[in-house]
Amino acid sequence: MCGMQQVDIAIVGGGPAGAMCALMLARGGARVSLVHWGGYAPDGIELVSSRARRLIEQYCPDFFQTVSSGVEVRETTAQWGTPKPVTSSAMFNPWSSGVAVERPLFDHALRELARTENVSITADTKVSRIDRANDQWRLWMRGGDTASASLEADFVILATGRAAAQFLNRIPVVESSQIALMALLRPCPGDKPRHTLYVEGMDNGWWYALPARGGSYFAGFCVDRSELKKRNASLKEFFIHELRRTQLLAPLLSSDSGNLRISGRMTGIHPFSRPAGNGWIAVGDAAYMQDPLSGMGIEFAFETARLGARVLLGGMKEGATPHALAELAAYEASVRERVSGHDKAAAFQYGRLQR
């Protein structure tokens, strides 16, 4: 072991949930250390909903001008079992424009923002084990400059996304049956940059496409893995074949489609399980993972980060140890309420799309 640090709160994982929670806690006066390893970090382009955008801008008003960039998404066009597409500026972005961001850049910008608030960030380092003895956590870390080191903390926040299953033996590993196949579609000649999110349901899955810089589009096809087994072609051929069957997205495919690079990401809903226990909470996807169609994963990550930070700071102000159980029960209740709110909103969106 070559280093030992002692902090109030250790955060494992520096995606939107971990970085935002670190930022809020540090602003509230807590000593926070965040350990981040990018091995499971989402790639590609995602929508920061208008609400999530507002949450960031409360802390850093010019975030999307100076800290991170993205493409504003001003309207949504969807087609789902209806002869005509539905176009709305309020479907996924009811308050104002959402922003389509490159996740690695966006996540990095959020961590840098947390660093400016004196969050100690250990990057490129994986937390491999977490132990608890005498009301203290010890995190074992590997990677980067810290060949092997440990960190002691009063409280642990799991912000590891779906990788949370490996810790505390509490979340069952869920093998998702759904996968998202994704690719960046280069602009067709003469295409003007657009600000539209496309969503289209098909008989075997659903498609989305988000605007990217320079007039490109980032398209994803969420499909059951059994469909992939049935295919009689390469992944790329399958992707192109399925994309050509759509009405809304097919025109986004340019003639140089031979250069497409397809990546895959497991998706599907992660069941809700306990987001808090003695001396720890889980935030973001580590607490609950919803359907990507909802477009609210980052928003939920920020909301749970905010709820968690509020509860912990409240507990610390009152002189209680941050793992006061009453506070954790309050966190669990709030997350449950948010999950049911998100589920209702998602069901509503599906209803709109299916009509």
Ligand X SMILES: Cc1cc2nc3c(=O)[nH]c(=O)nc-3n(C[C@H](O)[C@H](O)[C@H](O)COP(=O)(O)OP(=O)(O)OC[C@H]3O[C@@H](n4cnc5c(N)ncnc54)[C@H](O)[C@@H]3O)c2cc1C
Binding site for ligand X (CB under 6 A): 12-18, 35-42, 46-47, 49, 126-127, 159-161, 163, 180, 220, 265, 267, 284-286, 292, 295-299, 301
Which one, 279 or 292, has the nearer CB to ligand X?
292
Which one, 161 or 322, has the nearer CB to ligand X?
161
Rounded to whole angstroms, how far apart are CA atoms 220 and 207? Answer: 6
Which one, 47 or 311, has the nearer CB to ligand X?
47
Q: How far is the CB of 316 from ligand X (least distance, A)?
A: 23
Inter-residue contact 12 to 98 (CB < 8 Å) = no
Inter-residue contact 245 to 251 (CB < 8 Å) = no
* DSSP assignment string, 284-324: GGGT-B--GGG--HHHHHHHHHHHHHHHHHHHHHTT--TT-
Q: How far is the CB of 320 from ligand X (least distance, A)?
A: 26
Rounded to whole angstroms, how far apart are CA atoms 168 and 161? Answer: 14
Which one, 79 or 267, has the nearer CB to ligand X?
267
Q: How far is the CB of 326 from ligand X (least distance, A)?
A: 25
**How many beta carbons lie within 10 A of that of residue 58, not counting itself?**
11
Residue 30 CB contacts under 8 Å (≥ 6 apart), including other chains: 8, 9, 312, 313, 316
Contacts of 131-136 spanning 24+ positions with Cβ under 8 A: 132/279, 135/279, 135/321, 135/323
Q: How far is the CB of 319 from ligand X (least distance, A)?
A: 30
Q: How far is the CB of 18 from ligand X (least distance, A)?
A: 6
Q: How far is the CB of 233 from ligand X (least distance, A)?
A: 22
Rounded to whole angstroms, how far apart are CA atoms 24 and 59? Answer: 9
Taking phi first (over 0 means left), then psi (-120 to 50 degrees means alpha), and beta for anything else, what does residue 317 get?
alpha
Q: Are strands 263-267 and 178-185 parallel, antiparallel or unpaired?
A: antiparallel
Which one, 205 or 297, has the nearer CB to ligand X?
297
Which one, 147 or 320, has the nearer CB to ligand X?
147
